[in-house]
Structure 1
Amino acid sequence: LIARRRRTSCYFYPRAWPSVRSADWWERVVLKEFGPQDWLEKFRMSKETFFYVCNQLQPGLAPHSAHFHPTLPLEKRVAVALWHLATNVEYQTLSPLFGVGPSTVQTCVREVSYAVVLLLKPLYLRLPNEKELENMVRIFRTRWGFPHCIGALDSLHIPIPPPLRLSADYCNGQGWHSILTQATVDGLGQFWDVSTAFPGSMENSAVLESSSLWVLAKEGRLCPNPPKHFMGKAQKYVLLGDATYPLQDWILKPYQEDENLTQRQLQFNYRLKRAHSVIENAFLRLKARWQILLKCDDCSLELLPTLVLACCILHNVCEAHDNPFNE
C-alpha cells in the first residue's frame, strides 16, 4: 500500500469586513471591495480567472438546467461552490455568509462540480495530442533531466467517513477510510489523466489496471505511431511511477534499493525520483488549494468522483492562468 501523503493546508487570516447583511455581502463586499489577494485567498484564483470560469460554465448553469431560484446569479452560485471546495467549511456555516440556505449551498456545489467536469474537462484535462506530447517530453528533459518521458504517475488517498456499505473495502493500509485517485501530470504539474473513486484498500497496480490510463496505453494512444526514436531505436514514451507500480514498456520504476546497486543504477533512481516529485508536489498544491480533499464529510460517495475531477480541473485552470499559489 502506498504511504499516506503528508497533508498541507493554507492558513489565511480573516479580514474584518464592515457589518453587511448576508444577502448583500456578495454584491457589496466581495464584488466591490475584495482586492487581488482576497480573491486568491478565498476563491484560489484571480478575479479575472473567476469570471472566465463563470463565462465558461454558463451553458451548464443556465436557469433552465439547474435547480436554483431564478434570482440567484450564476456568479454567486460559482462563488458559493468554490468557497466550499477551497475551505471545506460545512454547509450550515457557509450558508449565512452568502445569505442562502444550506440546501442551496449543497446544490451549488453539486451543480457547479458537474458543470466544471462537463464544460472545462475537454479544455483542461484531456489526452494530449502528438505535438503536445512532444512538448511534454521536452519539459521533462530540460526541467527534470529525464528523457523520453511524458508524465509522472501516482495515487492519492482522500479521507472519507466510513461508508454504510462495503466499509472494509474502503479501509486502507493505514487503518482509515479513503477513496483512491490515480493521476498523471506533465512536467509542469498539471493533470492530464485522472481516474478516481477506487476503494482505499486497492493496491496501486490494481487501480492502474482498472483505470482509463491502462486502456489508453493498451490502445497505443500514449505515443505516436510509429514511436519516436530514442537511443537508436523506436521506443514508446514512458511514464514514471514509484515502487508500487508494475514495470511496463511504458512505465518506469526505480530499482529496488540495496547494497548491490551499481553507480549507474543509483543515478537512474535519483533522476527518476527527482522527476517523479512533480506529481507529489502537484498533489500537495491540489489539496492545499481545494481543502475539501482533506476530508470529504459533506459529500456522498456518488458525488465524490465528480467533485475530485472538478478539483483537478480547477487546479489546472489556476495553473494555466498563472494564478499564484499561496503556501
Structure 2
Amino acid sequence: MLLIMIAGGLRSNVRIRTRPWTTTQRTDWWERVVMTEFQPSDWLDKFRMSRETFFYLCDKLRPRLARQDTSFRLALPVEKRVAVALWRLASNIEYRTISTLFGVGKSTVCRCVRDMCHAIVALLSSIYLRPPNEQEMEDSAQLFLSHWGFPHCVGAIATLHTAIISPSNNASDYANPAGWLSVMSQVAVSGRGHFWDVCASFPGGTDPADILQNSSLWATAAEGGLSPASPLVFMGKSLRYVLLGESCYPLQSWLLKAYPEEKGRRSSRAALSNAQQLFNRQLDRALRVSEEALLRLRARWQCLSKRNDCGLDVVPTMILACCILHNMCESHGDAFKAEWQGEVAEAESPQPRHKPLLSTGMDQSNSEEVRRLFCDYFEQQSN
C-alpha cells in the first residue's frame, strides 16, 4: 500500500508543458506583434508576400507541416513554422537571430526551413512549377512577341549560381567560372517571367550544356513537346515553338542562341551580316526576360543572393522552393519592392559568365536553317 501511495504521489506532481518546446526565453512577439499589428508593408518586407498569400501558403502546406501536441509540449502552429522559414529565406540571417526573435530553439529554425522547403516542393510543384499547356505556350509566345519583339518563342533558358560554404568533399568541383563556390541550376522562364522548369543541385563547375542534355527539358523539347500537336507556320514553314538560350548552350532547331562573333577583327560586328546582327540584338533583348526573373528571384529570396550556409542536401530543395514561391507571389500579384534589387547588388558577387559553346556534335543539322528563318523575319521587320 505504501508503494502505491508513493507512486500515486509521484504521478500527482508531474507537470505538463503548456507551451511549445523552446530552448530560448518565451516571447509573445509573434502572437502580439506580427499577427495583430503588422501592416501590409511589414508582411512584404519580412515575408516577401502579402498577408493573404501567406495564409494561402499555410493552408496549402498544412497537410505536411501540422504536428500533434504531446503530453510534454505543444506543437508550433503551422503559421509560425512557415513564418520562421520564410524569414530565413527572405533575409538569409543567422538561425540564432531568428531563434531569438521567434522564441524557438535554433534546431527548430533549421527544421522549419527544411520541412517547409520539402513541403513546398512536394505539394506545390504541380501547381506552380510545371511545363506549360498548349494555351499557356500560346500566351507565352504572344508575350515574347509583344514585350520582347521575338516571335514564335515560348521560353528562355539560363543558369543560376547560388553561393555555398566549402563542402567537405570535392570542393574544387563547385568552383564556378568566376572562381567562387556555388551550386548551379538550370531554369526555363516563360514570357511572363515565371519559372516552369528548374534543374538544381549541380556543382558550380559543371558544363551547362551537359546539364541541359541530361535534363527532362531536353527530352521534352527534342520530342516536340513544346508545341501544339500541329506545329504552327512561321515564315512560310511549319515550325515548332523555340526556346532561347545563352551562348554556352548547343544550337538546336528548338533552341536558338546568338551567332558567334569572330575574334581578331577590329570590329567583331563586321564579321556578321546585317540580318545576323539584327538577330543577335533581338535575341539579347529577349533573354532579358530570364535575367529579370532571376534578379527578382534573388531579390525576393536573399538566401539565393548571399552565401548559403545550409548543407548540400538542403540547398537544391531550397532553390526549387524559392522558384515555386516566386511563381506563387507573381501569380497572386504580390507587390515587388525595387529596393530589394539594390540589396542584392550590394550583397552578391556578379553571376558568372560561361564560355560560348562552339559547334559540337549536339548541334542539329537543320538548326542553322531555322536560325536563318528568324534572320529573314527580323530583316523584313526592319525594312
Q: What's the TM-score, normalizing by structure 2?
A: 0.77
Q: Which has the larger radius of gyration?
A: 2
C-alpha displacement of 1:272: 0.8
What is the 5 A alignment of 1:96-115? 96-115=100-119
Q: Supply the AA of the counterpart residue of 2:330.
A: E
Larger RCO, structures 1/2 (Cα 8 Å, 6+ apart): 1
Structure 2 residue corresponding to 1:324, chosen from 335, 340, 353:
335
C-alpha displacement of 1:59: 1.3
Q: Does 1:207 align with 2:218?
A: no
Q: Supply the AA of the counterpart residue of 2:102.
A: F
**Segments of 4+ moved more than 6 angstroms:** none
Q: Distance in 2 between matches of 1:177 and 1:99?
A: 33
Q: Distance in 2 between matches of 1:306 and 1:129?
A: 25
Q: Does 1:194 align with 2:198?
A: yes
C-alpha displacement of 1:141: 1.0
Q: Which residue is 1:128 aligned to?
A: 132
Q: Does 1:170 align with 2:181?
A: no
* Mapped contact 1:222–1:237 kept (Cα < 8 A): yes
Structure 1 residue corresponding to 2:77, chosen from 73, 77, 101:
73
* Mapped contact 2:67–2:75 kept (Cα < 8 A): no
Q: Which residue is 1:3 aligned to?
A: none
Q: Does 1:286 align with 2:290?
A: no
C-alpha displacement of 1:22: 5.4
Q: Does 1:264 align with 2:268?
A: no
Q: Supply the AA of the counterpart residue of 1:314.
A: L
C-alpha displacement of 1:210: 2.2
Local SS of the residue matching 2:154 = strand
Q: Does 1:29 align with 2:40?
A: no
Q: Which residue is 1:11 aligned to?
A: none
Q: Supply the AA of the counterpart residue of 1:282.
A: A
Aligned residues: 304
Local SS of the residue matching 2:172 = helix
Local SS of the residue matching 2:168 = coil
Gaps of 5+ in 1: 1-20
Structure 1 residue corresponding to 2:184, chosen from 180, 184, 203:
180
* Mapped contact 1:180–1:196 kept (Cα < 8 A): yes
C-alpha displacement of 1:219: 3.2
Q: Supply the AA of the counterpart residue of 1:166.
A: N
Local SS of the residue matching 2:313 = coil
C-alpha displacement of 1:297: 3.6
* Mapped contact 1:240–1:251 kept (Cα < 8 A): yes
Fraction of identical pairs, as percent:
54
Measured on the aligned residues, the alpha-carbon RMSD in Å equals 1.5
Gaps of 5+ in 2: 1-24, 262-267, 339-383
Q: Which residue is 2:241 aligned to?
A: 237
* Mapped contact 1:117–1:306 kept (Cα < 8 A): yes
* Mapped contact 1:90–1:298 kept (Cα < 8 A): no
Local SS of the residue matching 1:152 = strand
Superposed CA deviations along residues 225-263 of structure 1, whole A, max 9, x for unmatched, are: 232221222111111112111100110101123212122
Q: Distance in 1 between matches of 2:170 and 2:130?
A: 32
